[in-house]
Amino acid sequence: MKVKSKKESDHKKILDKKVWLFDFDGVIVPGPTIKDHEQFISNAIELISDFRNISIEEGSRLYASLQLEGKTNLNDFFLKNFPNIEKKVMFSRVFGEYNKKYKKMKPHDSITKGLEILRRNKIALGILTNNTGDIVKTVIERFKYSKYFNSIIAYEELYPFLKPEEFSYKIATKSFGVAPEETVFIDDSEENVRASKKLGILSIHITDKKADTDNEVADFTFENTRNLLKAVVREITC
């Protein structure tokens, strides 16, 4: 693999790895906005109110009191506090509106080209996500990305070891038969990237924040996945 760059040794660190693991929301496709998260919580409170047969105001107070017990995502929140709610009902009621956005999302040429170049250079690709497998598969098949990915490691395979749980990364690397040191991980969550870096995985943070690429959070930072893959294509083809 020919690499030519002002930071040649740095790029070799990335390009010489055997496996690249991509997060889904915020990396392969745009992630939820603040407004989307607010809607998730509003939907969750409505579901709590219906399930407990209480008012929205009481449901809101109950949600707030239960959340005080510890930071958790909405999926874990319901599994912990409302184990009798069916998972399909929870996902549909809380995230159903957002899932419609996936149907409007479109593939990007630079991502398609980047994935193709990586596969052409014998790099195995995977998706490591806390999202559900059916959503991920539907989107990447519509985008025609599925042919580039060897594996999708999603919520169903990870639970209860969702990112940033250490074991989630071990599940992913084991599925490819590689060591953490042979792996690249790309995510837009600082918490997830930080956890992967501690395991020796070469970690790339997708963020619009200006950050030192040699800090404790990540090995490299890029503003978005398109820029990351454009840089990879440029370095490989030079």
Find the CATH number of the domain harbouring 154: 3.40.50.1000
Kindly state whether residue 94 falls inside one of the protein's structural domains: yes
| pLDDT computed for residue 52 by the predictor | 96
Predicted pLDDT of residue 70: 58
- In a domain? residue 1: no
Does residue 131 sit in the same domain as residue 174? yes
Query: Do 81 and 195 sit in the same domain of this protein?
Result: no
Give the chain's residues under pLDDT 70: 1-12, 69-71, 210-215, 237-238
What is the C-alpha to C-alpha distance for residues 26 and 33, in angstroms, rounded to an integer?
10
Q: End of a domain among 49, 74, 102?
A: 102
Task: For residues 58 and 139, state if they share a domain.
Answer: no
The confidence score (pLDDT) of residue 191 equals: 93
Do 81 and 125 share a structural domain?
A: no
Last residue of a domain, one of 102, 125, 151: 102
Is there a domain that residue 3 lies in? no
- 230 plus 193 within the same structural domain: yes
pLDDT given for residue 235 in this prediction = 74
The answer as to whether 133 is a domain residue is: yes
Are residue 136 and residue 155 in the same domain, yes or no? yes
Whether residues 18 and 116 fall in one domain? yes
Q: Which pLDDT does position 214 carry in this prediction?
A: 47
> What pLDDT, on a 0 to 100 scale, did the predictor assign at position 69?
63
Provide the pLDDT for residue 71: 63
Same domain, 50 and 147: no
Q: What is the pLDDT of residue 202?
A: 95
> Residue 126 belongs to what domain range?
8-30+106-237
Residues 25 and 97 in one domain: no
The verdict on 63 and 173 lying in the same domain is no
In whole angstroms, give the CA distance from residue 105 to residue 126. Answer: 20
Q: Are residues 205 and 189 in the same domain?
A: yes
